[in-house]
Amino acid sequence: MLPMMVNIRNKKVIVIGGGKIAAKRIESLLRFQPNITVVSPVLEERLHDLVKSDVIEHIARSFHKSDVKGTFLVIAATDDTAVNQRVKESCQTNQLINIVDDPANSSFHFPAMYEKNEITIAVTTSGISPMLAKNLRDEFAAIVDGMDPEYLLFLKEVRHLVKEGQFTKEQKRILLKECLEEWYHSNSIQRSIFMDKILDLYYHPQKNKR
């Protein structure tokens, strides 16, 4: 499968099933602000709370084929394999579907995710070992947790200036690589010196030609 980041803000998402797995899937999606509808006769208590606060919509009945019409993401999360298969068969070929008990026939998977300070980590083993994916995610998360948030802002500012400035392709490569050196990670003085150099080159592009 092709790993990619997809903007699902305000996209229609339907979840068939209202149990623990459905709740887990919904909670992982909420931060990305889609429009979520859950179809199920009954709901987990935590999903009831989301419905009461108008965070998600609830259709209190069993699945109908028409439920998936016009939706961007479809999640079949019931405890009935036959129902999940019906959901799959009801989808168009251009719809993204995740079947919780049948990864092989899903068109997308939920990776083990971690998000902090504009860094998103997503790890998947394509269903082979979700536990391994979580372990790897936690290892990467520990690295991110140890980063100075100011360093990430520094990288963002450097990249903006380098992209917008009158630098050659080789100069851009060198500058963007240099700012990743370890001594910039926690040393604000070194970051300031480097930023002054970038700004000088940015506002005096003639120096780039020397």
pLDDT digit string, tens, across residues 151-206: 999 999 999 999 998 898 999 999 999 999 999 998 999 999 999 999 988 888 77
* pLDDT the model gives residue 201: 87
Instruction: Just give the CATH number of 149-209.
Output: 1.10.8.610
Do 151 and 184 form a contact (C-beta atoms < 8 A)? Answer: yes
Q: Note the pTM of the prediction, 2 decimals.
A: 0.80
Class of 12-110 in CATH: alpha beta
> What is the end-to-end Cα distance of the chain in Å, rounded?
47
Tokens of 190: 């070194």
* pLDDT tens string 11-66: 999 999 999 999 999 999 999 999 999 999 999 999 999 999 999 999 999 999 99
Domain ranges, ordered by start, for the chain: 12-110, 149-209
